[in-house]
Structure 1
Amino acid sequence: MNASRLFREFFESEKAGGLLLLLVTLLSLTLANSPIQSGYIGFWETPIGHHSITHWINDGLMTIFFLLIGLELERELYGGELSNIKNATLPIFGALGGMAVPAGIFLAFNFGTLTQNGAGIPMATDIAFAIGILSLLGNRVPTSLKIFLTALAVIDDLGAILVIAIFYTETISFLYLGLAFSILGGLFILNRRNVHNLIPYLIGGGLMWYCMLNSGVHATITGVLLAFIIPYGDGGKKTSSYRLQHALHRPVAFVILPLFAIANTCIAIDNNWQEGLAHANSIGIIAGLVLGKPIGILLFAFICVKLGIGSLPKDLQWKQILGAGMLGGIGFTMSIFITLLAFKNDGEDVITYSKIAILVASFVSGTLGFLWLKMSLKK
């Protein structure tokens, strides 16, 4: 398998971005539990217009993150690993297992309770953190494993986006939703007429985001829809899709995701924080990410190969797929994002305990995945 230049660039930016996420998370947790706690936490709740700084980051800047994810998914579908159905089926099945099994484990602990709405939390994989940890193993990591984990995480993100759109939308304004899709239709016409200038697409995307924000459907969905409307062409360096994806890599990896991490991990941890881990919700999150992810990814990938639908790359073994599954248990960004949507009406305590559970599960998954792959990959 040959990784394209854009894939290598994406991998390198995610690698450095993952390490930066780790540093800013530790910094944010430290400041949130320091003498400047109240001022630090209060800063992120400062209102700008009708929303707090955190809200603008989560609903505004994260739309750009989803735009990049959409562009990456589009590239994978047209010219990458997912363009060949035989190659695509393995990460697709792995991602499906990595979503279904963790959600099932969570519901086993929470079905029929007030927290059952959090089933989407352990379904997510943080692509930046997962690739960041994988990169620490250096050149012993085969390209096929990098591509498998990246494709798996991208498909996983698409699944998380669908979960957000379907299960975490409460009330819908059909007027604004209709306006949003009318704008999308107009941009589609520009695409069909071979308009490659990015400016009308970005202006239309901004208007579509505003309509989506007021429609009740989560505004970040705009990013993915816009990604598939921007002309892909032959995928070359001069195409609109390539230029935008290239331009977004570093701002997303080094500005947007770190800001999201800082704003959403300023958690005041009290002396009894570990008691929150005993709640069914926290147990479901931790078990779903730490156990459900590797079990689901390995099991579904194995079924895929045994049925003859897909094939295991020649330079990989099942124990390395299991290691990738362990790294898939690093939920972080998307898991926290879904937590905010799932429990926004259930009080700060539930959100705080969920975030702590996500941090614990992500740390355990990342550590286990790193150690397992370090032992199973040749130097």
Structure 2
Amino acid sequence: MSFSVTLQHRFDGFTLEAQFEAPKGITMLYGRSGSGKTTIVNALAGLLRPDAGRISSEDWVMFDAAAGVFLPPDKRRVGYIFQEGRLFPHLSVRQNLKYGAWFAPKDAPREAFDRIVDMLGIAPLLDRRPGRLSGGEKQRVAIGRALLASPRLILADEPLAALDDARKEEILPYFERLRDALEIPILYVSHAGSEVARLATTLVVLENGRVIRQGPAAEVLSDPDVTPMGASAAGVMLHATITAQHADGITEVTAGRVPLLLPQVGYPVGTDLRIRIEAQDVMIATERPRAISALNVLPATVAALRMGAGPGALAQLRAGDNLLLARITRRSVSALDLEEGKEVFAVLKAVSIPRTAIGDQRGT
């Protein structure tokens, strides 16, 4: 199932003009605050009637301005996951979950209650009330309630923004499971690079109300011309496979024919991973460094150089089948005599890749 979205809407001082496809998996709306992400989510949920456009999936049309079609929110079969769980405080977890199922159409295919409870690991919570749940537990229950409504589309509007880092790390694996298990699209709003790299199947980049780039997440993230959050937040996503677990707490992976060493990852050999590498953590050398503490020294070629408006620059490096980004200074570009096609070495400290930047990609 895939959703096709075309929207035009004008506010005072802001115009949204967006067109994109949301296929199965997680389509991430990515951009700065005020770029139009939440406006799109509200239009899909039926909370905003756009001036023009169309939202449809195969023969299911939720909005068509030209044809005068505008389904109200309760007819759209959209599951909405908010920043806070928004659970009913007077109901138990079990009752909150069944409230979602109560809204499912009688003829809609239904997710099995036990399957959802097991997928989200909330069986021990069923008899509790929301006041006795942590922030992460509340979000897992909110996800289950949305799924049990038999939606055609899941909307997740910055669902981790209200959580601290520990709770985010708790929830991310459950979104990975949803991405890999569900047949329906998930439209996920974020401006956090780690969430994008770990979760996104498709990336839609927004800037000032317009889509400036869309496509497979790894491809879009490695583009040095697409940095909506600024060069300081640039980074790529690599697909890798665990090849060894070493006794000293280091995990060895292979990414695009290139070996990498990471802090220990608690998955078995053979597991496929998604790894985010931030541009600010990649150094460039024109000769292979010797006697340094960095464990990853990768032969690479400069694929592209982009000079910033200030003292900074962004270099795209090809290492094996991978594209990396390195955030450096204009002075370094000059001192190293960097140019496209030059052979260099990309240097990356293993400890610069935090556990939160490494996700399970089994099933994607």
Which structure has the larger Rg?
2
More helix by share: 1
Question: 1 or 2 for the larger relative contact order (CA 8 Å, sep ≥6)?
Answer: 1
TM-score range, shorter chain: under 0.3
TM-score by length of 2: 0.23
TM-score by length of 1: 0.22
More strand by share: 2
